[in-house]
Chain A
Amino acid sequence: MGFVLLLSSLVLISLRLLGFTLANHSVPKVAGQTTRLLWLGLSLAIGSGVLMFIGSPRHYFDNPAFRTKMLLLAAAVLVQIFLFQGVSRRDSPNPWFARVSVAVSLVLWFGVSMAGRAIGFV
């Protein structure tokens, strides 16, 4: 549920930054509330994730997919704060800067998802 909220908010802002949707509304107008929803989603995901981790910490800690996931998660959060947030606050962000931020951010978050899924398989 948390991840659903996080990914869909991220995709909505990304689509707007790329000009694929809601192009008749400014970037900050679309991104403002959506960004808050994104952080809410992340908090829910982290909250439930921590509970799962507490359930069987040894199982997760030694799992290579789990470590990859945590690294990707840290990178994704940093990119979100230092790159993505800045871009989505501007009225007319540099299109290439916006595209690069969107690409990096989507790759990282989808990577977190995939790595999370992989925990069960390795």
Chain B
Amino acid sequence: MSQAIEDSGIGVAIAESRYAFPIIEGIHLIALSVSVGLIFLTDLRLIGVFLKHIPAEDIHRQLRPFVFGGFTIVFLSGGLLFWAEAATVMQSPPLAIQVPVHLAGGTERAVFRVRDRQAARGARRAGEHPTQREIRRPGVDGAVDPRHHLRAAGRLYPEVAVRPTLQVMTQVDILAWIQTSTLGHAISKSITCSSPDSRSYT
């Protein structure tokens, strides 16, 4: 089946175009770096070593749309790359690691989000959280941002920080590895191109 995907019109077009593949791959890697990096910065804030004067919740909440937006680009461009060389990639050992790592990362984020909400609800019930009426625009007249319920979830901090950090390292390395083991083969097969060098990965 993966061979059929690879042989389809768009698959061949991407694999044979001189520019399409590297450009899509570049976009894929940049989007991945940015999203994973923003998660990393959020986690640095959660463990309290980065931007301490800004509430963790502000960082967490306000960066989240960009993290998810970035991952949307990662998956779309990754889908196109897969389209172009499905058969080769399917046999590649790194893919067997990358996909579960992605899924684990996604699940971890989703679990964190659910527990974050639960903690907020718990804090509200316990009376630590102000009612909607008390919530003023943060930062106005020196009003303290009252939405600090993440503090109630303080016990979450260390455990959330470790996994994505590992993820940063494994994902980027795995990508580089995929290039070495499969791209070289896939590309020299389809384009007139001298030895692609995976070490030039930025």
- A residues sitting closer than 8 Å to B (CB atoms) are 1, 3-5, 7-9, 11-12, 15, 20-22, 24-25, 29-30, 33-34, 37, 45, 52, 55, 59-60, 65-66, 110, 112-114, 116-121
**Ranked 6 nearest A-B pairs via Cβ:** A8-B37, A116-B202, A119-B200, A114-B26, A120-B196, A24-B139
Q: B47-68 vs A: 1/0 string, CB under 8 Å?
A: 0001101100011001100100
How many chain B residues have a CB neighbour from A under 8 Å? 40
Evaluate contact between B37 and A7: CB separation under 8 angstroms: yes
Secondary structure at the B interface, as helix, strand, loop or mixed, is helix
Most buried by A among B41, B53, B193: B41
15 A–B pairs (Cβ distance < 8 Å), ordered by A: A5-B40, A7-B30, A8-B34, A8-B41, A9-B37, A30-B51, A52-B200, A112-B202, A113-B202, A116-B201, A117-B200, A117-B202, A118-B22, A118-B26, A120-B201
Closest residue of B by beta carbon distance from A118? B22
The interface residues of chain B lying within 8 Å CB-to-CB of A12 are 38, 41, 63
The interface residues of chain B lying within 8 Å CB-to-CB of A59 are 197
Evaluate contact between B199 and A55: CB separation under 8 angstroms: yes
Closest residue of A by beta carbon distance from B168? A4
A117→B202 CA distance, assembly (Å): 6
The interface residues of chain B lying within 8 Å CB-to-CB of A114 are 22-23, 26, 30
Evaluate contact between A1 and B169: CB separation under 8 angstroms: yes
